[in-house]
Amino acid sequence: MSDHQPKPEPTPYEPQVIGVLAEFSGPEELVAGARAIREKGYRRVEAFSPFPIHGIDEALAAPKPILPWVVLGAGLTGCAVAVLIQWYMNAYEAPIPFSGYDYNISGKPSWSLPANIPVTFELIILFSAFTAFLGMIAFNQLPKLSNPLLRNERFLRATDNKFFLLVEADDPQFATDSLTGAFQSIGAGHVEPVYDQPTKPLPGVFLLVGGVLAVAALVPLGLIAMSRDTTSTTPRLSIWWDMDYQPKYKAQTTIETSLFPDGRSMRLPVEGTVARGGLRDNPALYLGYIPKGEETFETSFRLQEEGAGDQPPESTEESTAEESSSEETPAEETTAESSDESTPEDTSTEDAEASTDDAAEDSTDESATDAAPAAETPAASQPDWVTEFPIPVNMDTMKRGQQRYNIYCSVCHGRAGDGDGLVHQRALELNQLTTWSPPTSIHQGEIPNYPVGRLYDTITNGNAAGFLENGGIKRGRMAGYKAQISVEDRWAIVLYVKALQKTRNASPDDLTEAELNSLKK
């Protein structure tokens, strides 16, 4: 006969008092009650109200929170981390794994605090923000899955229109009966002890489902990590496909369908229209010379804007080819051809040879060189240069031209225009005479007599080495500045250049009587 002992009955759970809760009718009564209960010696006191109340912290003698100091420490930590990590990455190299790299950029210092301020500022904000958010949760002992106060029906109105004080059970003077009498003596409307509630363990099915969901959440992360190290021939998945495959045609492509008759995806400008601010109706202002006919002006300006300013205003491909072939033809073959086909350059050369035979034998090569440009630039082949300024001539324009000249021109031509700029001086120091072409002085030869339109054309398209037979301009080694200097500023520079030239060639007749008298003093 077996002996079966009956199972002992489980001990019933006895609720424990966690505090005494007192209800007050308004915010003033709550502050007065908190101050009175503190005067009775209670220290573990907490207040609850639907909205913040001024003076409640002083009434409760609440300690200053430590969170601001923690946030300050986090900000200083972010500052140190940002400075150190930027210095390590950009200015420190060592034979260790994950070493930094001293990257020299344009001779700039490897480490400079002002250049690293933006990243430092961002890390200070990042560290401080996360610390403030997480610190608030930690110091408030959140999250709490259960709070016995929330089971009290009266306490639920603490978020609506009621005000409560709670003295916690761990207060040194806590006693339920004496504390109840203390609350009633200071005017509390309702006082009752608050008990905790027995907690039940979470059912196992919840734990099982939570574990499965946690493992399933790792699957997408694993697939992403695996795909980073593999290749695929299929297109990637598009969650929002309309951002990747938009119904549109890209520029500079043709359309397979007959959307437009010309098959282009982009439309040409409407013929005969001009963009706002793009009208070029003054050839003297924009070209520096007066072309023949409206069509010639449009063609010349288009070539100038497209970077083809070194082409002659009225030249064609055939004339350019003829010019190049005539320069490459040997002198013997040129003599053997018919005299009717000789070019003006050939005629001028023959005249120069005849004059050289009649001249003295001790004539220098320099005199022959000086005669050559005059032979290459017949007056009939020169464009119709502008001789008057198409912009207002005043002191403001002169000062603007001086400023632009000192920025763009003086580096080669010098501040006074003598061709002794800093770039030229540097070339002489480096002994680059074989590869460096010295700048031209604006005061020598026929340059002071150049029309203002020719100086404008030189600034726009580069210097003119001579004129071609068909009226074109043969460009020299100086590049044009039309991409860097505006039209008005080019004319301002021309005005200042003319002023510089005037300082070298001025005569007393060019000055007024008052100016002459001022010089005599």
Looking at residue 351, its pLDDT comes to: 42
Cross-strand partners of 193:
20
Predicted local distance difference test score (pLDDT) of residue 49: 95
The more confident residue out of 257 and 48 is 48
Report the pLDDT value the prediction gives residue 420, as an integer from 0 to 100: 92
- Averaged pLDDT score across all residues of the chain: 80
Write a three-state SS string for 72-135. Answer: HHHHHHHHHHHHHHHHHHHHCCCCCCCCCCCCCCCCCCCCCCHHHHHHHHHHHHHHHHHHHHHH
Position with higher pLDDT, 257 vs 277: 277
CA distance 159 to 162: 7
CA distances from 282 to 269, 279, 288, 429, 486 (A): 22, 9, 10, 45, 15
pLDDT in the model for residue 299: 61
Single-letter residue type at 254: T
- Look at 328 and 101; give whichever has higher pLDDT: 101
Contact between residue 441 and residue 413 where contact means Cβ atoms under 8 Å apart = yes
**How would you label 395-407 residue by residue, b for 16+ Cβ within 10 Å and e otherwise?**
eebeebbbebbee
Query: Phi-psi category of 136—alpha, beta or left, where left has phi over 0 and alpha has psi -120 to 50?
Result: alpha
Query: In the predicted model, is pLDDT for residue 50 greater than 90?
Result: yes
Q: Would you state the pLDDT for residue 294? A: 56
- Structure letter (DSSP) for residue 370: H
Q: Dig out the tokens for 347 from the structure.
A: 């005629």
Name the band, by pLDDT with cuts 50, 70 and 90, for residue 331. Answer: very low
pLDDT of residue 305: 59
Answer whether residue 385 shows pLDDT above 60.
yes
Q: Which is more confidently placed, 439 or 318? A: 439
| pLDDT in the model for residue 474 | 63
Q: Which of 179-188, 192-201, 290-299, 316-325 has the highest mean pLDDT?
A: 179-188
Q: pLDDT > 70: what percent of the chain?
A: 79
**pLDDT, tens digit (0-9, with 9 covering 90-100), for 368-379:** 333 334 344 455
Query: Is the pLDDT at 333 greater than 70, yes or no?
Result: no
Residue 221 in this model has a pLDDT that exceeds 80:
yes
Provide the pLDDT for residue 368.
Answer: 33
Which has the minimum average pLDDT: 83-92, 278-287, 374-383, 420-429? 374-383
Residue 226's pLDDT band (cuts 50, 70, 90)? confident
- Lowest mean pLDDT across 267-271, 279-283, 463-467, 505-509: 463-467
| Among 120-124, 374-378, 388-392, the least confident range | 374-378
3-state secondary structure of 212: helix
Query: For the whole prediction, is pTM greater than 0.85?
Result: no
Residue among 167, 164, 195 at smallest CA distance from 26: 164
Task: State the pLDDT at residue 256.
Answer: 75
Backbone dihedral region of 169: left (phi > 0), alpha (psi from -120 to 50 degrees) or beta? alpha
Q: What is the pLDDT of residues 334-353, one digit of tens each?
A: 333 333 433 333 433 344 34
Mean pLDDT across the stretch 150-176? 92
Q: Is the dihedral of CA 11, 15, 18, 19 positive or negative?
A: negative
Q: Name the 3-class secondary structure at 48.
A: strand
Tell me: pLDDT of 312 over 50. no
> Which runs of consecutive H residues, i.e. helices, occur in 329-467?
331-336, 344-358, 365-376, 395-408, 410-413, 422-429, 452-461
Better-predicted residue by pLDDT, 277 or 328: 277
Q: Please say whether the beta carbons of 18 and 195 come within 8 A.
A: yes
Average pLDDT, stretch 68-97? Answer: 93
Q: Which of 195-209, 245-259, 286-300, 476-490 has the lowest mean pLDDT?
A: 286-300
- Is the distance from CB of 171 to CB of 40 less than 8 angstroms? no
Q: Among 1, 64, 63, 61, which residue's Cα sits nearest to residue 31?
A: 61
**Interior angle at CA 477, CA 472 and CA 482, nearest 5:** 70
Domain ranges of the chain: 13-198, 280-324+372-521
Angle, helices 395-408/487-505, rounded to nearest 10 degrees:
90
User: What pLDDT, on a 0 to 100 scale, did the predictor assign at position 353?
Assistant: 40
Q: What is the pLDDT of residue 224?
A: 86
Work out the pLDDT band at 46, boundaries 50, 70, 90: very high
d(CA 395, CA 393): 7
Sign of CA dihedral 270, 275, 281, 285: negative
β 464-467/473-475 pair status: antiparallel
d(CA 348, CA 371): 10
Q: What is the pLDDT of residue 475?
A: 63
- Residue 97: the pLDDT is 84
pLDDT tens figures, 396-416: 999 999 999 999 999 999 999
Q: Which pLDDT band holds residue 381 (cuts at 50, 70, 90)?
A: low
Q: What letters, b where the CB count within 10 A reaches 16 and e where it falls short, cover 61-73?
A: eeeeeeeeebbee
Percentage of the chain lying above the pLDDT 90 cut: 44
Residue partners of 168: CB distance under 8 A and separation at least 6: 18, 19, 44, 45, 46, 174
- Alpha-carbon distance 297 to 291, whole Å? 6
pLDDT above 80: residue 32? yes
Query: What pLDDT was estimated at residue 357?
Result: 42
* Highest mean pLDDT, choosing among 279-283, 361-365, 423-427: 423-427
Residue of 477, 385, 476 whose CA lies nearest to 427: 477
- Lowest-confidence pick of 6-20, 148-162, 284-298, 349-363: 349-363
Tell me which range, 103-107, 119-123, 254-258, 430-434, is most confidently predicted by mean pLDDT: 119-123
Q: Please give the backbone phi and psi of residue 195, each rounded to the nearest 5 degrees, phi first.
A: -110, 150
Given a cut of 50, is residue 322 above it in pLDDT? Answer: no
What was the pLDDT predicted at 380? 52
Question: Is 326 in a helix, a strand, or coil?
Answer: helix
CA distances from 257 to 254, 260, 326 (A): 9, 8, 51
**Does position 6 have pLDDT exceeding 80, yes or no?**
no
